[in-house]
Structure 1
Amino acid sequence: MSVLDGAVVAVAGAAGPAGRATLLRLAEAGATVVASDADAARLAEAVDAARYAHGGATVVGDTVDLLDLDAAREWATRTEKEFGRIDGLVHLVGGWRGSKNFTETDLADWDFLEKLLIRTVQHTSLAFEDGLRRSDRGRYLLISAAGASKPTAGNAAYAASKAAAEAWTLALADAFRKAGGDDGPRAAAAILVVKALVHDAMRAERPNAKFAGFTDVNELAEAIAGVWERPAAEVNGNRLWLTEKP
């Protein structure tokens, strides 16, 4: 039996290729999956695909504005009320803006990324922390980028946003550590770090590209599910590298 059998896992930003792969993998492992995304049509497609692939799996979708803290809290409360527990939040909300060089950085990109990559993390973590702490296998997983640890000149806004999201997640990990006391944390917050993600459609568009160091979305989904296989104390507050450290 999978450790995820019977678990209730929320996935934020579930409609993209990484979200689709994650929904499929979690459903396959026996979890009840509660997906959200700002794009209702793409979310419905992703949820239907996971349900179809794993007949009998409970996969539901909810259009949630994660830029609204109250909406995020309502999502968490509704999920726990409906399914009786909450064992995970996988944060896949992503986006990128960059420039040719440092001088040409547009601070409007920062305004955009601060909302997308930091605010959404703040809101999901604040909304789900209490439920995850009560779980016997709670996991908060942020998907981050290697660029947060080694920013490049044209990626200042993106790297700074990712670094801030990582710091916020590590603060949540410290809260779980303190809540666990001498027995160690029961829940864990961890960061899965990739260089970038690749999926089949990208390979089809660029058949000659090597995508060196990229992580396939299916590999990411496998790594996400694998975090539940490891003790909370082992993963809490750690960066789990799926690519070479910069």
Structure 2
Amino acid sequence: MRNGNGALSGAVIAVAGAGGPAGRAALQRLAEAGATVVGSDNDPERLAEAVDAARYAHGGATVIGDTVDLLDLKSTRDWASHIEKDFGHVDGLVHLVGGWRGSETFTKTSLDDWDFLDLLLIRTVQHTSLAFFDALQRSDRGRYVLISAAGATKPTAGNASYAAAKAAAEAWTLAMADAFRKTGGAEGPTSAAGILVVKALVHDAMRADRPNAKFAGFTDVEDLAEAIAEVWEKPAAEVNGNRLWLTETP
């Protein structure tokens, strides 16, 4: 366990997709840094386990789990509104909603995969960004953090749907960043939307299942969580509209 430095003391950060391995790591790291963390996930049981783990790891931390339908814009807006109402401000949204569909070859790509990924990887980004924009703009350290994949920049034949969906999510996030830039005026943005790019993620359970695998270029979920927390240590102008690479640039 790291020693908390309280760098995010007083911050209120929402984490979408909090129940998976990356979400669990993010909840714990943000709580350790002193933030109040509000997570959501489409699996209530998995979310409850992640919230309990973060609370156990950092006694006294405020970690909350909310059941939210991120495919419904009104539900997502209501989530953002109640967080701001309950805590007075919202300083971040970390978008960790993930999923993958692929094929053996380009021509075997199923457009059903695209329909699935469109909802999971694009629609949820649209909803969280629209729902949280105003609250993040009102914060003096608002950050929207999208986790993306290197494949969006260099797609492979069997990952057409996944890479295209990730690229669309990145473009949407960069448009949000431009809105922050314009709102900031001549003095520059005070809030930021940025993208953390990985090749893929790895965690302890994956290593246990495949003890001989190299996972070359993969980012450990603990390292990703650290990079997420460090976003708030950077000036808004350094984050806004930028891809921050955690793997080799293609």
**Is the structural similarity TM-score above 0.5?**
yes
The size of the alignment, in residue pairs, is 246
**Which position in structure 2 is the counterpart of 1:98?**
102
Distance 1:205 1:53 in 2: 25
AA at the equivalent of 2:236: A
AA at the equivalent of 2:183: A
**Which position in structure 1 is the counterpart of 2:139?**
135
The alpha-carbon deviation at position 3 of structure 1 amounts to 3.5
**Does 1:198 pair with 2:202?**
yes
**Does 1:61 pair with 2:65?**
yes
**Does 1:48 pair with 2:52?**
yes
The alpha-carbon deviation at position 2 of structure 1 amounts to 3.6
The alpha-carbon deviation at position 143 of structure 1 amounts to 0.1
- Describe how 1:151-230 pairs up with structure 2 within 5 A: 151-230=155-234
Q: Structure 2 unaligned runs (5+)? A: none
Q: What is the aligned-residue identity percentage?
A: 80
**Which position in structure 2 is the counterpart of 1:37?**
41
Q: What SS is found at the alignment partner of 1:161?
A: helix
**Which position in structure 1 is the counterpart of 2:88?**
84
Distance 2:72 2:81 in 1: 14
Mapped contact 2:201–2:221 kept (Cα < 8 A): yes
**Which position in structure 2 is the counterpart of 1:10?**
14
Distance 1:49 1:127 in 2: 27
AA at the equivalent of 1:160: A
Distance 1:236 1:4 in 2: 19
**Does 1:241 pair with 2:245?**
yes
**Runs of at least 4 residues off by over 2 Å:** none
CA deviations 1:6-48 (Å, max 9, x no partner) are: 1000000000000000000000000000000010000000000
Distance 1:2 1:144 in 2: 27
Distance 1:69 1:244 in 2: 35
What RMSD over aligned residues (CA atoms) do the two structures have, in Å?
A: 0.6
Distance 2:37 2:58 in 1: 12
CA deviations 1:150-204 (Å, max 9, x no partner) are: 0000000000000000000000000000000011100000000000000000000
- Describe how 1:13-24 pairs up with structure 2 within 5 A: 13-24=17-28
Mapped contact 2:6–2:32 kept (Cα < 8 A): no
The alpha-carbon deviation at position 4 of structure 1 amounts to 1.1
Q: Structure 1 unaligned runs (5+)? A: none
Q: What SS is found at the alignment partner of 1:104?
A: coil
3-12 or 87-96: bigger deviation: 3-12
Distance 1:173 1:2 in 2: 27
AA at the equivalent of 1:113: L
AA at the equivalent of 2:66: D
AA at the equivalent of 1:121: V
Match of 1:72 among 76, 83, 91: 76
Distance 2:51 2:14 in 1: 12
CA deviations 1:198-237 (Å, max 9, x no partner) are: 0000000000000000000000000000010000011100
Match of 1:145 among 128, 144, 149: 149
Please give the TM-score of this superposition, normalised by the length of structure 1: 0.99
AA at the equivalent of 2:176: L
